[in-house]
């Protein structure tokens, strides 16, 4: 799996020379734009084949959102963002944490139970629940890390299994922890006490919907991610291990330790994913708690190329597509699930586009190096 996602791990945070800098920038922006166009094209093709109103669908999706829509987009982007950062931490290390999906559900459940019990007053209770979420998420991911370093079990397979185990475990525990809720057939944990909930920001006076207070958490996590990965020794070790495990070992990095730590960090970040929902919207963990966020996170991390700003844009795009497609059923009798095709296709096209661009970039650079050193055409490397 050594080649995986290595492409341009180091690209960002790279000054570049004057003219190559522009080329690099153009390539970095060109790839996702191309990918989006391709995905829109493919989606349109599906719509045409199915006989749906293509123009109408895009007209609705690409229109300006309502005020309420803006709020919803920011809110769901917040949750997507946390999930994608959790995935990206693993990616940077060449670890494929497919298990964010399970990790955030186990963690959100634990947080909901802790917060629901209300052992501490007010925001202390919130903080305790957050700590619980991070610890549980980290522990759940840590199982995969431990299996990888002690038994050599691929984290891809173990996290797939752990996702399914999480589903069953949470269903079981939820039944135990559930409170009677007359008038509803939804099983859920105790509600978070009023004083421990996180209020929202009012963005528009004319709609009651508010932006999750936890959006600040997402911003902080994004900053911490950027800082740790790009500015610290630890981050360097992590990126170096992801770029070449063999070179990392020779440079004195304890790779096993790095695998455990980065799985714990990834799982800890995954633990935060459900919290904006828990403290800003649902106030309890129930059988209807939003699922599938982990897989969206994988897609968004790939789209945003593991870069904190790129991920933010990707999260907003996914949230935008979700929100704008909602009225399709009512307006045009088209299932809003059509945007899932778009979202899934983006994952493929964006990866292809980045790879094409990467190869092109490497070729340009090699040509530049050899033309800068026109004294001798190097012959070595030809046999590589």
Partner 1 sequence: MSVVTDAIAAAPAAAKKLSYGWVMIGLAALLVLFSALRVITGADDLASSGTLRATLVAAIPIGLAGLGGLWSERAGIVNIGLEGMMILGTFGAGYFGYFYGPWQGVVGAILLGAAGGLLHAVATVIFGVDHIVSGVAINIIALGAVQYLAALAFTGVPGGGQTQSPSIDKLPEFTVTALSDPLGDIEGKDWFVVSDVAAVLRALVTNLSILTVLCLLLFGLTFWLLWRTSFGLRLRSCGESPAAAESLGVNVIRYKFIAVLISGGLAGLGGGFLALVASSTFREGQTGGRGYIGLAAMIFGNWRPGGLLAGAGLFGYTDTLRLRGGGESIHGLLLLVAVALVLMAVWQIRKARKVAGAVTLGIGIVIGLWYFFSDSIPEDLTGMTPYVTTLLVLALFSQRLRMPAADGKPYRKGSAG
Partner 2 sequence: MNSTITSQDIVVRLRDIGKTFPGVVANHDVNIDLRAGTVHAIVGENGAGKSTLMKILYGVQKPDSGTIEVNGKQVTLLSPADAIAAGVGMVFQHFMLADNLTVLENVVLGAEKMHGIGDGARKRIAEISKSYGLDLDPDVLVEDLGVGARQRVEILKVLYRGAKIIILDEPTSVLVPQEVDELFDNLRDLKAEGLAVIFISHKLDEVLSVADEVTVIRRGATIDTVDAKSVNSRQLAEMMVGSELPNPSTETSTVTDRVVLEVKDMNLPGPSRALLTDISLTIHAGEILGIAGVEGNGQAELVESIMGIRHGATGVVALGGRDLSHASTRDRREAGIGYIPEDRQRHGLLLDAPLWENRILGHQTREPNVNGPLIDRAAARKDTQRIIEEYDVRTPGIDVLARALSGGNQQKLIVGREMASDPVLLIASHPTRGVDVGAQAAIWSHIKRARRDGLAVLLISADLDELIGLSDTIRVILRGKLVGEFDPATVTPAMLGSAMTGADA
Is 85:308 a contact under the CB 8 Å cutoff? yes
Among 152, 180, 250, 330, binds partner 2 (CB under 8 A): 250
**Per rule CB under 8 A, is residue 168 in the interface with partner 2?**
no
Which option in partner 1, partner 2, none does residue 256 bind, with CB closer than 5 to 8 A by kind?
Answer: partner 1
Q: DSSP characters for 82-106?
A: HHHHHHHHHHHTT---TTHHHHHHH
Chain Cα centroid distance, residue 254: 27
Is 82:272 a contact under the CB 8 Å cutoff? yes
Q: Which of 255, 299, 293 is nearest to 93 (CA)?
A: 255
171-175-178 Cα angle (round to 5): 120
**Per rule CB under 8 A, is residue 194 in the interface with partner 2?**
no
Is 213:199 a contact under the CB 8 Å cutoff? yes
Q: Other CB atoms closer than 10 Å to residue 270's CB: what's the count?
A: 37
**Per rule CB under 8 A, is residue 374 in the interface with partner 2?**
no
Binding site for partner 1 (CB under 8 A): 1, 3-5, 46, 50, 52, 96, 98, 147-149, 151-154, 156-158, 160-162, 164-165, 167-169, 171-172, 175, 245-246, 255-256, 295-296, 298-299, 302, 335, 337-341, 343-345, 347-348, 351-352, 355
Q: Backbone phi, then psi, for 101, in 5-degree steps? A: -60, -45
Among 1, 17, 131, 331, binds partner 2 (CB under 8 A): 17
Is 152:1 a contact under the CB 8 Å cutoff? no
Nearer to partner 1, 179 or 224 (CB): 179
Cβ at position 358, least distance to partner 1 in Å: 11
Is 301:348 a contact under the CB 8 Å cutoff? no
Nearer to partner 2, 168 or 382 (CB): 382
**Per rule CB under 8 A, is residue 56 in the interface with partner 2?**
no
16-19-23 Cα angle (round to 5): 80
Nearer to partner 2, 131 or 373 (CB): 373
Q: Is the dihedral of CA 46, 48, 52, 53 positive or negative?
A: positive
**Per rule CB under 8 A, is residue 149 in the interface with partner 2?**
no
Cβ at position 150, least distance to partner 2 in Å: 14
List C-alpha distances in Å: 360 to 2, 27, 70, 374, 378: 21, 9, 38, 21, 20
Name the helix (H) or strand (E) containing 28.
Answer: helix 18-50
Cβ at position 126, least distance to partner 2 in Å: 29
Is 198:184 a contact under the CB 8 Å cutoff? no
What are the beta bridge partners of residue 201?
Answer: 211
**Per rule CB under 8 A, is residue 97 in the interface with partner 2?**
no
Cβ at position 233, least distance to partner 2 in Å: 5
Cβ at position 25, least distance to partner 2 in Å: 13
Cβ at position 152, least distance to partner 1 in Å: 3
**Per rule CB under 8 A, is residue 22 in the interface with partner 2?**
no
Is 306:9 a contact under the CB 8 Å cutoff? yes
Spatial distance between the Cα atoms of 37 and 21, rounded to a whole number of angstroms: 24
**Per rule CB under 8 A, is residue 247 in the interface with partner 2?**
yes
Radius of gyration, CA atoms only, the chain: 23
Which option in partner 1, partner 2, none does residue 62 bind, with CB closer than 5 to 8 A by kind?
Answer: none
**Per rule CB under 8 A, is residue 15 in the interface with partner 2?**
yes
Spatial distance between the Cα atoms of 366 and 380, rounded to a whole number of angstroms: 13
Cβ at position 220, least distance to partner 1 in Å: 28
Cβ at position 92, least distance to partner 2 in Å: 13
**Per rule CB under 8 A, is residue 16 in the interface with partner 2?**
yes
**Per rule CB under 8 A, is residue 330 in the interface with partner 2?**
no
Which option in partner 2, partner 1, none does residue 309 bind, with CB closer than 5 to 8 A by kind?
Answer: none
Among 249, 309, 331, 356, binds partner 2 (CB under 8 A): 249
**Per rule CB under 8 A, is residue 152 in the interface with partner 2?**
no
What are the beta bridge partners of residue 202?
Answer: 210
Nearer to partner 1, 11 or 149 (CB): 149
Q: Which residues bind partner 2 (CB under 8 A)?
A: 6-10, 14-17, 20, 230-237, 239-240, 243-244, 246-247, 249-254, 362-363, 365-373, 377-384
């Amino acid at each position: 799996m050594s080649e995986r996602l290595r492409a341009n791990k180091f690209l960002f945070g790279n000054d570049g020379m004057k003219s190559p800098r522009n080329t690099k920038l153009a390539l970095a922006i060109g790839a996702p734009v191309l990918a989006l166009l391709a995905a829109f094209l493919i989606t349109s093709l599906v719509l045409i084949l199915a006989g749906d109103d293509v123009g109408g669908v895009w007209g609705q999706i690409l229109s300006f959102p309502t005020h309420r829509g803006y709020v919803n987009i920011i809110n769901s982007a917040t949750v997507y963002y946390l999930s994608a950062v959790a995935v990206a931490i693993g990616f940077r290390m060449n670890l494929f944490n497919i298990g964010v999906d399970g990790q955030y559900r186990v963690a959100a459940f634990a947080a909901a139970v802790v917060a629901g019990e209300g052992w501490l007053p007010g925001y202390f209770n919130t903080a305790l629940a957050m700590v619980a979420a991070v610890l549980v998420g980290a522990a759940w991911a840590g199982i995969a890390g431990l299996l990888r370093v002690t038994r050599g079990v691929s984290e891809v397979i173990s996290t797939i299994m752990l996702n399914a185990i999480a589903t069953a475990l949470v269903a079981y525990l939820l039944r135990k922890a559930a409170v009677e809720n007359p008038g509803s057939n939804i099983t859920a944990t105790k509600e978070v006490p009023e004083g421990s909930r996180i209020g929202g920001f009012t963005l528009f006076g004319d709609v009651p919907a508010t932006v999750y207070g936890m959006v600040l958490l997402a911003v902080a996590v994004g900053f911490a991610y950027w800082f740790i990965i790009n500015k610290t020794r630890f981050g360097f070790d992590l990126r170096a291990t992801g770029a070449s495990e063999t070179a990392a070992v020779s440079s004195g990095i304890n790779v096993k330790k790095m695998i455990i730590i980065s799985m714990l960090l990834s799982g800890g970040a995954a633990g935060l994913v459900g919290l904006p929902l828990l403290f800003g919207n649902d106030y309890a963990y129930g059988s209807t708690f939003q699922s599938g966020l982990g897989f969206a996170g994988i897609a968004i991390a790939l789209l945003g190329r593991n870069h904190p700003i790129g991920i933010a844009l990707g999260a907003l795009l996914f949230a935008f597509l979700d929100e704008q497609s909602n009225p399709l059923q009512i307006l045009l009798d088209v299932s809003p699930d059509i945007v899932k095709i778009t979202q899934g296709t983006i994952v493929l096209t964006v990866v292809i586009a980045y790879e094409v661009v990467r190869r092109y970039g490497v070729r340009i650079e090699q040509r530049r190096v050899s033309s800068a050193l026109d004294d001798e055409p190097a012959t070595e490397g030809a046999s590589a």
